[in-house]
Amino acid sequence: MKRILLGVSGGIAAYKSAELVRLLRKQGAQVQVVMTKSAMQFISPLTFQALSGNPVHTELLDADVENAMGHISLARWADVLLIAPATANILAKLAHGLADDLLTTVYLAATCPVVVAPAMNQAMWNKAVTQENVEKLLRHGVKVMGPEQGDQACGETGYGRMTEPTAICAQLFAQTESGDSKDNHYLAGHKVLISAGPTCEPFDPVRYLTNRSSGKMGYALAQAALNAGAEVTLVSGPVALLAPVGVELIKVTTAEQMYQAVMSKAVSHSIYIGAAAVADYSPVVNQPEKIKKQAEQLTLVLQKNKDILAAVAALNDCPFTVGFAAETHDLETYARDKLTRKNLDMIAANWVGQEQGGFDSDQNALHVFWADGDKSLPMIDKTQLAEQLMALIAEQLKAV
C-alpha cells in the first residue's frame, strides 16, 4: 500500500491527523489529503500541504482541476481511503450514500479499501443512530478503527477518542509488511472464525469474575489469517487491543454471549479457532443492585457455562476446530484428553503460571497436537507464533 488518501473531517482530533500524515510518509507512503469544510475550521489546509508535500483538496466543484472530475481521479489514485478523524456526521453521510462534498463523493467513487477512525464525544458515539451507521458501514466492508476509551476534550470519559496516529499507522502497514503478497494467500477462499480474550461474568452492576487473558494470541491469529488471505470473524471478550483492519469484529462480554456469537457464525466458516479464555463458571445470580459490605462472609454460587469448543465440534457441518489448552502441569495428557473428549481437530497447548509465557505475555511457546501427530513451536513473539500456527492449521486442514 503506497498511496493513501486521507480524509479529514471536522472534529477536535483533526490536529492529530497532521502527525498521522508525518507517520504515513515516514513509512514511505504517498499521502494526499481531502478536507471537509468543517475540518478547515479546526486545522489549516496549509499544515497538511506542508506535511504531505501535495496540494490539499477541499472543493467538489473545482474548475481548476483538469476535466473537473477530481473526485474520480482521487478515488482511482488511492490504494486506501483513510478517514481520520471521522465525525458522527461523516459516518452518517457515508452510511446513507450522501455525496454533497468532495470527501463523501470520493468515498462513493472509491473501489479501494476504506478505513475510518471515528472520533467524537462519548454520548454521540453511543447514540443508537451512530451505532447503526457504524454497523451499516461494517456490513458495507468499511474497516472501523477504534474509537478508544479515555478522557475526552469535552471533559467526559468514555469511548470516542480517536485511535492514536501511531496505532493507525501500525495497523495500516501491519498487513502489507507481514506478507500481503498474493503468493502467501494460502487461506484464500477460507472463512476463519476466532474467539479471543477473556469473558466477564457479572454478579452485580459493578463487579464481575474474569481472568488474565489479554487476547493477544487470538488477535495475532486473526492478523495471521488475514495475511494468509482468509476472511476473518473475530469474536472478542473485553480487551485493550485494536482489532486488525479487515476483520469482522463482534464484541461480547459474557461466556453466554460468546457462545451465542460463535454458534451463530460457526457453520458458515471453514475454520474455528477457540483462543478465548472462556469462564468455566459464572454466578447463578446477577444482582440488580450493588452488593453491600455487610455480612462477614459472602458465598457466590456458580454454574457451569456451556462448552463452546465442544458445541462447535459437535455441529453437523462443523468447521475444522482448533482449541487451546492452558495448563500448569501434565500438559500433553490434558491436551490429548481435551482433543479426544471434545472431538477437536487440533489443540494448541501452552504452559501458564510463573516464569511462563501465556497470559498477557508478548511471547509464547506452543505444543500442538492432532489425532496422529504433534509439533512443538518454540518460545517466540506471538505474532510469529500465530503465523506458524496458522500455517500448521492450513497444512492439517488439507490433510483431512
**Residue numbers at the binding site for ligand FMN (CB under 6 A):** 9-13, 36, 38-39, 87-90, 119-120, 124
For residue 178, the Cα-to-chain-centroid distance in whole angstroms is 17
CB of 245 to ligand FMN, least distance (A): 21
Query: CA nearest 389: which of 305, 273, 278, 241?
Result: 273
Q: Residue 135's beta-bridge partner residues?
A: none
CB of 94 to ligand FMN, least distance (A): 10
CB of 53 to ligand FMN, least distance (A): 23
In single-letter form, the type of residue at position 324 comes to: F
C-beta of residue 326 within 8 angstroms of C-beta of residue 198:
no
CB of 90 to ligand FMN, least distance (A): 4
Query: CA nearest 258: which of 303, 323, 205, 305?
Result: 305
CB of 154 to ligand FMN, least distance (A): 8
Residue 132 — φ and ψ, nearest 5°? -65, -40
CB of 129 to ligand FMN, least distance (A): 12
Cell 497444512 -> residue:
395
Q: Residue 380's beta-bridge partner residues?
A: 364
C-beta of 58 vs 305, nearer to ligand FMN? 58
C-beta of 88 vs 225, nearer to ligand FMN? 88
What would the DSSP string read from start to end of 267-322? Answer: GG-SEEEE-SB--SEEES---SSPPPS-SS-----EEEPP-HHHHHHTSTT--EEE
Residue 184 — φ and ψ, nearest 5°? -90, 5
Tell me the residue number closest to ligand FMN, measured at CB.
11
* Identified catalytic residue from 112, 154, 169, 318: 154
Distances (CA, A) of 168 to 115, 165, 395: 10, 5, 32
C-beta of 167 vs 263, nearer to ligand FMN? 167
Asked, as a colleague might, if the bond just before 85 is cis with ω within 30 of 0, I would say yes
Distance CA 266, CA 274 (A): 11
C-beta of 39 vs 397, nearer to ligand FMN? 39
154 catalytic residue (yes or no): yes
CB of 108 to ligand FMN, least distance (A): 15
C-beta of 38 vs 260, nearer to ligand FMN? 38
C-beta of 88 vs 308, nearer to ligand FMN? 88
Strands (E), the chain: 3-8, 30-35, 80-86, 114-118, 143-144, 148-151, 157-161, 191-196, 201-204, 207-209, 231-236, 248-251, 271-274, 281-283, 302-304, 320-327, 346-351, 363-370, 373-381
C-beta of 153 vs 399, nearer to ligand FMN? 153
C-beta of 89 vs 364, nearer to ligand FMN? 89
Residue 302, all three cell numbers: 456458580
Distance in Å from the first CA to the final CA of the chain: 36
CB of 150 to ligand FMN, least distance (A): 13
Residue 398, all three cell numbers: 488439507
Residues tagged active-site: 154
